[in-house]
Amino acid sequence: MKAQPIASHFIDGEYVEDTDGTVIESLYPATGEVIARLHAATPAIVERAIAAAKRAQPEWAAMSPTARGRILKRAADIMRERNRELSELETLDTGKPIQETIVADPTSGADSFEFFGGIAAAGLNGSYIPLGQDFAYTKRVPLGVCVGIGAWNYPQQIACWKGAPALICGNAMVFKPSENTPLGALKIAEILIEAGLPKGLYNVIQGDRTTGPLLVNHPDVAKVSLTGSVPTGRKVAAAAAGSLKHVTMELGGKSPLIVFDDADIDSAIGGAMLGNFYSTGQVCSNGTRVFVQRSIKETFLSRLKARTENMVIGDPMDEATQIGPMVSFDQRQKVMSYIEKGKVEGATLVTGGGIPNHVTGEGYYVQPTVFADVTDEMAIAREEIFGPVMCVLDFDDEAEVIARANGTEFGLSGGVFTSDLTRGHRVADQLEAGTLWINTYNLCPVEIPFGGSKQSGFGRENSLAALEHYSELKTVYVGMGKVEAPY
């Protein structure tokens, strides 16, 4: 299987190569096979991408929002037409099952272009402020050159979630995908050009943790939006602070999902499974601490175990497959070490816990795993594992579970399952997180703001709220009379 792109980078409307950059091997996670060889950006490539963005941005910003929006909507249409091809590429890039990528990846990227393309005309309006005989008005102005840095779990979605709001506000973007998943973003850049985006406005360069700082520290960059882990977020925010750049931080989590004894138990189990096993558990907002009220614990666990053991693990290109491999060998090692820690710490292994033996080849597979009798101080309950490992914790009452759910440095998301709607809202209100779900989990349509609080980050992606993070207000005060100076 091969997925070699024309070249490593996409700058100023065309593919660009610089073989002086360190080699990045793209491995298909289901087999470990090398499917593409690319090069990390050299400093010269970084300069070229930022210079192209800087050159192209003013003319783009001078266009009407409707004209910009028309191009984004065309890109959305092209993505939908090519959904299968893009989904297969996403599966090769990440190892996620085609059953998921075909409904969740290019389509959510297309939603983003469609939404921001569509709200352009109204969403970017300023305001008129009456001041007696004088008045003021505000206008929303772009920031300039924005940098997007992506994680490996949703490469195409992240490339679009950052690109669409940045572009509609009149900015240019330089996007660096994760070194684990370098392929998808290049296709997004190609499609934007085909949709009519002027060259230089959406550039993609490859690289790793040594390339990112070249972008973050660059004096011509006005904003950095990162999707990644908390430790990376701290470094990027600190570097950006050096020149007071705008930042959006979409970071990790260890989110609580609370199941009360009056919940529809099968829905709650479905929510917990989706919130732990979708994308082989590699989702930042996953509800990895599942608090189950003690009276329903045994029923919950026995049905959960049966449903988990029925999941289809295998070839991600097979439409019947529900669980694919982890993205990389290293990520699997990390997940396996947490599973070992859970056993040593005394949690009860309900199911999974190993590498599935019926999957052949070198793929980075892990069985979907459930631990019960997990307690708050265990490492598996405190640290982000980023794999298919669900921790079930018991609780007795509402006040106790809220305090324990909030007892974490993270604050990305959370969920509550209950048939008592008053309680659902009351609990959601008290959970310290950016996005909460009642009687469902992990749904993130483009219409709703998404982002974290506490150590999970700041800034919001999607919805009208994203526009505030890719633009700033300019205020103009208009004096209508003579200036009365006291001197």
Which of 31, 99, 101, 227 touches ligand NAD by CB under 6 A?
A: 227
Task: Work out which of 364, 386, 395, 437 binds ligand NAD, going by CB under 6 A.
Answer: 386
Total site size for ligand NAD, rule CB under 6 A: 28
Per CB under 6 A, the segment of 31-39, 77-85, 251-259, 304-312 that binds ligand NAD is 251-259
Length of the chain: 487
Q: Is 338 in the site for ligand NAD (CB under 6 A)?
A: no
Residue written as tokens 């982000």?
A: 384
Q: Counting contacts by CB under 6 A, is residue 138 touching ligand NAD?
A: no
How many whole angstroms separate alpha carbon 87 and alpha carbon 97? 9
Among 26, 203, 232, 276, binds ligand NAD (CB under 6 A): 232
Q: In what order do the strands lie in the sheet with 223-227?
A: 14-16, 9-11, 202-204, 172-176, 145-149, 223-227, 246-250, 457-458
Q: How far apart are CA 7 and CA 190, in angstroms?
A: 12
Q: Does 445 bind ligand NAD (CB under 6 A)?
A: no
Q: Examine residue 139 and tell whether it contacts ligand NAD (CB under 6 A).
A: no
Contact between 153 and ligand NAD per CB under 6 A: yes
Instruction: Provide the β-strand partners of residue 131.
Output: 134
Beta-strand relationship, 413-417 and 33-39: unpaired
Q: Find all residues with CB under 8 Å of 482, minimum gap 6, and list them.
A: none
160, 284, 391, 444: the active-site residue = 284
For ligand NAD, give the closer residue by CB, 213 or 361.
213
The whole-angstrom separation of Cα 38 and Cα 21 is: 9
Q: Determine contact, residues 333/355, Cβ cutoff 8 Å.
A: no
Contacting range for ligand NAD; rule: CB under 6 A; set: 164-172, 244-252, 261-269, 415-423:
244-252
Nearest residue (CB) to ligand NAD, 159 versus 268: 159
CA distance 207 to 485: 58
300 vs 386 by CB, closer to ligand NAD: 386
Q: Establish if 38 lies at the interface with ligand NAD (CB under 6 A).
A: no
Least spacing, CB of residue 93 vs ligand NAD, in Å: 13
Residue whose CB is less far from ligand NAD, 326 or 405:
326
Residue 178 touching ligand NAD (CB under 6 A): yes
Of 237 and 301, CB closest to ligand NAD: 237
Q: Which is nearer to ligand NAD, 228 or 353 (CB)?
A: 228
Site string for ligand NAD, 397-436 (x = CB under 6 A): ---------------x------------------------
Q: Where are the beta strands (DSSP E) in 205-355?
A: 223-227, 246-250, 256-259, 289-293, 348-351
- Closest CA relative to residue 91, chosen from 274, 283, 319: 319
165 binds ligand NAD (CB under 6 A): no
C-alpha closest to that of 462 among 108, 83, 72: 108
172 binds ligand NAD (CB under 6 A): no
| 88 binds ligand NAD, rule: CB under 6 A | no
SS3 183: coil
Name the residue nearer to ligand NAD (CB basis): 175 or 260. 175
| 217: contact with ligand NAD by CB under 6 A | no
With CB under 6 A as the contact rule, the residue among 72, 168, 236, 237 that binds ligand NAD is 236
Q: How far, in whole angstroms, is CA 44 from its chain's centroid?
A: 28
Catalytic residue among 250, 254, 444, 454: 250
Q: Is 162 a catalytic residue?
A: yes
State which amino acid sits at residue 90: E
CB nearer to ligand NAD: give 65 or 387. 387
Q: Where are the beta strands (DSSP E) in 200-300?
A: 202-204, 223-227, 246-250, 256-259, 289-293
Please, what is the minimum distance in Å from the beta carbon of residue 176 to ligand NAD? 6
Q: Which residue has 């106790």 as its token pair? A: 400
Nearest-angstrom CA–CA distance, 271 and 424: 15
Which residue, chain included where needed, has tokens 């980075």? 364
The DSSP-derived string for 94-120 is: H---HHHHHHHSHHHHHHHHHHHHHHH
Structure tokens at 458: 């700041």
Residues 275-294 that bind ligand NAD (CB under 6 A): 284
The answer to whether residues 183 and 3 touch, using CB atoms and an 8 Å cutoff, is: yes
22 lines the binding site for ligand NAD (CB under 6 A): no
308 scored as a contact of ligand NAD (CB under 6 A): no
Asked if 461 is an active-site residue, the reply is yes
Catalytic positions, written as ranges: 162, 250, 284, 461
Binding residues for ligand NAD (CB under 6 A): 149-153, 176, 178-179, 208-209, 212-213, 216, 227-229, 232, 235-236, 250-253, 284, 384, 386, 412, 452
